[in-house]
Amino acid sequence: MKNYDRPKLDIPKTTFEKALDLSAGLIYAACIVYLIVIWGDLPDQVPGHYNAIGEVDRWGSKWELITLPIVAAGLATLMSFFEKHPEWHNYMTSLNERNIEFQYKNSRMLLNVTKNIIVGLFVYLTWKTVQIALGKAGSIGWGFLPIFLALTFLPMIFFIVRSIRKQ
């Protein structure tokens, strides 16, 4: 089935997807409120970049801190848009009447899980950056990068394997 021949199916979001969206939305809102409340206490310079072991290797204006929630919101918005159009996604298996609904749900859930993990990671990074700027922490820690990568790629692997198994 070619990309342009795929039907658009009306498949409601699962309770799991709705719960993930709600959770990520709440922690994102809490992050914005936290930034607003703490803004006046922030020094003029905050961490602007971290090296691979989580140490600050560049400091920048506190205004750079707002890029983290902006990027998180932009990614979440874009990924939410694509969640609504699984007929546009690329699939590693052939789609047919027997498997198309499962493949659409699986692909949409991959995007949903990845989107919400990314929002959570950006919220954590924002919070940790504020903690470092206020002198309450020294770094984001050496484990942040491997955890970030694992949380980003393990769901992809899981959902790809799931897709292949359900051809």
- Cβ neighbours of 109 (radius 10 Å): 21
Give, in order, the Cα–Cα distances in Å from 118 to each of 37, 69, 93, 96, 105.
23, 11, 26, 31, 20
The pLDDT score that the predictor gives to residue 166 is: 87
Give domain status of residue 2, yes or no.
no
How many distinct structural domains can be found in the chain? Answer: 1
In a domain, 156, yes or no: yes
pLDDT of residue 48 exceeding 60: yes
Whether residue 7 is contained in a domain is answered as: no
Residue range 50-105, pLDDT digits in tens: 999 999 999 999 999 999 999 999 999 999 999 999 999 999 888 999 999 999 99
Structural domain containing residue 124: 12-165
In this prediction, residue 2 carries a pLDDT of 59
Residue 70 located in a structural domain? yes
Residue 102 lies in a domain: yes
Residue 5 inside a domain? The answer is no
Q: Is residue 63 part of a domain?
A: yes
Classify residue 1: in a domain, yes or no.
Answer: no
* 120-130 pLDDT per residue, tens: 999 999 999 99
Question: pLDDT band at 158, cuts 50/70/90?
Answer: very high
